[in-house]
Amino acid sequence: MSPVRELNERESEVLRVLYRKAVTWRGWEWRGVRGWMLLDELNAAVRGWLPETLSTLARRGLIVRDRADDPGPVRARVLVTRITPAGLRHLVHAHGLDYHEIGEPGPPAPGVFFLPRGRWEIVRTLQRARRWREGGWLRAREIRSLVGKPVYEDEYLYLVKRALIEPRRTAPGGAGELRYRATAAGRRVQLLDGATSPDWVQVRLRAESAGEASGPKYRMN
């Protein structure tokens, strides 16, 4: 850990936010312990842009950051952050906060990642469509109606790039309206935590069974 120096106001504020999550056993569960926060959540909690602050705290060993990328072929860079026992001890000594045992993170759980809530709702809608629509194909307007709110093109593209849904035109030769369905991987995504955040969910990609296809034939780079 780097030599101790006084933390600035922003660094202390970030530590206090993470402290409250860890000692109350709130926040996301990741690697077997709660208290993790996504970068978007931290930015909102302290009303600022934090990459440089988080890098400084991580170098000093006061927080731990971990990649929580989705398992698709084109991965979104998703970071989760948690206070370390050293960070907690700093707040206890420097600010008089109560000491709590918060535990150390264990190994990552395979297949667990995060999705924006609206994109998870698209995946879930297409999973369910297979029960009542042949092939599970839905037009964009049908998805929008079932989700109950606007769905934008970049949300579909995000999921296509991650091989969770696949598109097809309604007419031969690439013409007509786009339809979408869940890929083999998309059908194996399960919700783990939909209560921690109004904007994000935590999901798990089940291991592929012997009878399932290896993946969608369609890819978009």
> Is the pLDDT confidence value at 12 over 90?
yes
Whether CATH 3.30.1360.120 fits 9-109:
no
Share of the chain above pLDDT 70, in %: 88
Mean pLDDT score of the chain, rounded to an integer?
88
- Total length of the chain: 221
DSSP β-ladder status, 33-38 and 63-67: unpaired
> Is the pLDDT confidence value at 213 over 70?
no
> Is the pLDDT confidence value at 20 over 50?
yes
DSSP β-ladder status, 189-193 and 165-171: unpaired
pLDDT of residue 47: 86
> Is the pLDDT confidence value at 81 over 50?
yes
Please write the tens of the pLDDT for every residue from 82-123.
Answer: 999 999 999 999 889 999 999 999 998 889 999 999 999 999
> Is the pLDDT confidence value at 181 over 60?
yes
- Domain 9-109 identical in fold to domain 114-205: yes
pLDDT of residue 78: 87
pLDDT of residue 75: 66
Higher local confidence (pLDDT), 210 or 115:
115
Please write the tens of the pLDDT for every residue from 115-166.
Answer: 999 999 999 999 999 998 989 999 999 999 999 999 999 999 999 999 999 9
Class of domain 114-205: mainly alpha
Contact of 155 with 118, CB cutoff 8 Å: yes
Share of the chain above pLDDT 90, in %: 72
Give 74's pLDDT tier (boundaries 50, 70, 90): low
Contact of 192 with 112, CB cutoff 8 Å: yes
Question: DSSP assignment, residue 136?
Answer: G
Cα distances from 151 to residues 12, 132, 144, 155, 187, in angstroms, run: 38, 21, 6, 7, 20
Return the structure tokens found at 195: 């209560």
Which pTM does this prediction carry?
0.85
Average pLDDT over residues 200-207: 94
User: Domain spans of the chain?
Assistant: 9-109, 114-205
